[in-house]
Amino acid sequence: MDVPSDLVKRDRSAVWHPYAPPAASPLFGVASAEGVRLRLEDGRELVDGMSSWWSAIHGYRHPHIEAAVRAQLDRMPHVMFGGLTHEPAVSLCERLLAIAPDGLERVFLSDSGSVAVEIAIKLALQTWHARGHPERRRLLALRGGYHGDTFGAMSVCDPVTGMHGLFEGVLAKHLFAPRPECRFDAPCTDDDIAGFERLLKDHRDELAAVILEPIVQGAGGMWFYAPEYLRRVRALCDAHDVLLIADEIATGFGRTGRMFACEHADVAPDILCVGKALTGGTMSFAATLASEGVCAAIGSGEPGVFMHGPTFMGNPLACAAAGASLDLLATEPWQERVAAIATGLEAGLAPCRELRGVADVRVLGAIGVVELREPVDMAVVQPAFVDAGVWIRPFGTLVYTMPPFVIGPADLERVTGAIATVLAAHADA
Ligand SMILES: *Cc1c(COP(=O)(O)O)cnc(C)c1O
């Protein structure tokens, strides 16, 4: 076991980490990052298998993104967005609309994914309020979903993994359809959609919107489901006049092999949330895109304005980073890279299928998942991954990787090899 460094000791007496007890453990000090590598304070280098939670798609310190941020820093790092506008924000919103699924007409910028989800929920509720249906304010979500950690977002996360019991009485009571059981490559039967369909039909008069993660459910279970399910959801929403919110905060910007996961099903949502990879992992930033119907309702009904406005809305540094990331997605062969990563993940994770304790191995685009029957022991597994020279951060029964798109074959093998080796040792322990 490593001796904790000074940094880690100071951290443990002053700092709180995500989903951690007051003093987090195990914990590693990181000094810098470049390309697909994290350099720890003790000099060890780790190949990053997490892209800092889906975000660093171009790797760390990409010179094009850094140059854009530096140039913007020389002009203005920030200015309020109420009554003022600027080139980085306008051009970013124009470009997001150009690449987003059809029918999305306007962009609301915010600071993080959870806030983008709050905004999406508010847009949906305000739409129905403006249309004279204030009673339509419930949401229909999917079990196994994850939409963020603020209260509105939490209220549509899976009730079990989202620990709704802990916040009983505070969270809004929404509706939850069963997790879609049809796998990505499988057909979607009437049975697969029946639970969803029944809830939608029974509650349509009180529903503002359906909210889901298209194709890939992320932090709620790393589960991939059939595009046909999503197509049927879109058709049911249309038939019953319910809005569809697509949360592409994890999937947006190429991760699944398409720019947006909705494209697998060839559907467009009424409201779209993006975040995570928006700035290529440079800084926190998010956006909520709305359809013409949503914009028109909110603009014409009471109170005629959308009731939201973060202090740091449209931050110019974040807009510059996001614009530079979109430049890279427009000029670099990310589709081929993601396809190559998918092939490498399939081959590299295949040996895990034979391991005792492994329930499932699945790959979609640049996402590889090994699902175990029992939760991993993080105190053992986390340092073992570091010793193997990779950064992998499992949660519960899920050991997964979504590396930067720029990872090369040798580094990808190091990631998959480490997963196979560490899990083999874990299975034998
Ligand atoms: C990460 C995530 C969020 C929340 O984003 P934050 O930036 O962490 O607030 C919401 N939805 C999905 C699908 C996510 O993966």
SS (H, E, C) 38-106: EEECCCCEEEECCHHHHCCCCCECCHHHHHHHHHHHHHCCCCCCCCCCCHHHHHHHHHHHHHCCCCEEE
Out of 109, 121, 146, 156, mutate this one to test ligand 1's pocket (max ligand atoms within 8 Å of CB): namely 146
Q: What is the DSSP letter of 305?
A: S
Amino acid, res. 42:
D
The residue nearest atom 11 of ligand 1, judged by CA position, is 147
Helix (H, G, I), strand (E, B) or coil at 286: strand
Tell me whether the omega of the peptide bond preceding residue 101 falls within 30 degrees of 0, making it cis. Answer: no
Helix (H, G, I), strand (E, B) or coil at 360: strand
Out of 109, 114, 248, mutate this one to test ligand 1's pocket (max ligand atoms within 8 Å of CB): namely 114
Q: What is the pLDDT of residue 147?
A: 98
d(CA 369, CA 358) in angstroms, rounded, equals 11
In sequence order, the 6+-apart residues with CB closer than 8 A to the CB of 99 are: 259, 260, 326
Same-fold call for 6-58+333-428 versus 63-331: no
Q: Is 10:16 a contact under the CB 8 Å cutoff? A: no
Active site residue 11: no
11, 48, 146, 158: the catalytic one is: 146
Closest to 273 in 3D by CA, of 77, 104, 399 = 104
Query: How are strands ordered across the β-sheet holding 286-291?
Result: 104-110, 286-291, 271-274, 243-247, 207-212, 138-142, 175-177
Q: Is the shortest distance between the CB of 255 and ligand 1 below 6 Å? A: no
Q: Which residues of the chain have pLDDT under 70?
A: 1-2
Q: Is the shortest distance between the CB of 248 and ligand 1 below 6 Å? A: no
Q: What is the pLDDT of residue 2?
A: 65
The full DSSP string for 370-391 is EEESS---HHHHHHHHHHTTEE
Q: What is the pLDDT of residue 429?
A: 75
Q: Is the shortest distance between the CB of 281 and ligand 1 below 6 Å? A: no
Q: Is the shortest distance between the CB of 148 and ligand 1 below 6 Å? A: yes
63-331: CATH, from 3.40.50.300, 3.90.1170.50, 1.10.510.10, 3.40.640.10: 3.40.640.10
Q: Is 395:323 a contact under the CB 8 Å cutoff? A: no
Q: What is the DSSP letter of 180?
A: P
CA of residue 391 to ligand 1 center, whole Å: 20
Assigned token pair, 358: 């492994």
Q: What is the pLDDT of residue 3?
A: 80
Q: Burial of 249 by CB count in 10 Å (0-12 exposed, 13-18 middle, 19+ buried)?
A: buried
270, 276, 400, 411: the catalytic one is: 276
Q: What is the pLDDT of residue 162?
A: 93
The residue nearest atom 15 of ligand 1, judged by CA position, is 250
d(CA 422, CA 230) in angstroms, rounded, equals 36
Closest to 92 in 3D by CA, of 276, 242, 286 = 286
**Which H/E stretch holds residue 358?**
strand 358-364
Query: How are strands ordered across the β-sheet holding 358-364?
Result: 358-364, 367-372, 398-401
Map tokens 């996360």 to a residue: 157
CA of residue 113 to ligand 1 center, whole Å: 4
Q: What is the pLDDT of residue 427?
A: 84
d(CA 139, CA 121) in angstroms, rounded, equals 8
Q: Is 413:344 a contact under the CB 8 Å cutoff? A: yes
Q: Is 52:283 a contact under the CB 8 Å cutoff? A: no
Tell me whether the omega of the peptide bond preceding residue 394 falls within 30 degrees of 0, making it cis. Answer: no
Total residue length of the chain: 429
Q: What is the pLDDT of residue 4?
A: 87
Active site residue 276: yes
97 C-beta neighbours (distance < 10 Å), count: 13
Closest to 211 in 3D by CA, of 235, 177, 183, 182 = 177
Assigned token pair, 136: 């339509």
d(CA 402, CA 265) in angstroms, rounded, equals 22
Active site residue 428: no
d(CA 290, CA 303) in angstroms, rounded, equals 18
Each domain of the chain, given as residue ranges in start order, spans 6-58+333-428, 63-331
CATH class in words for 6-58+333-428: alpha beta
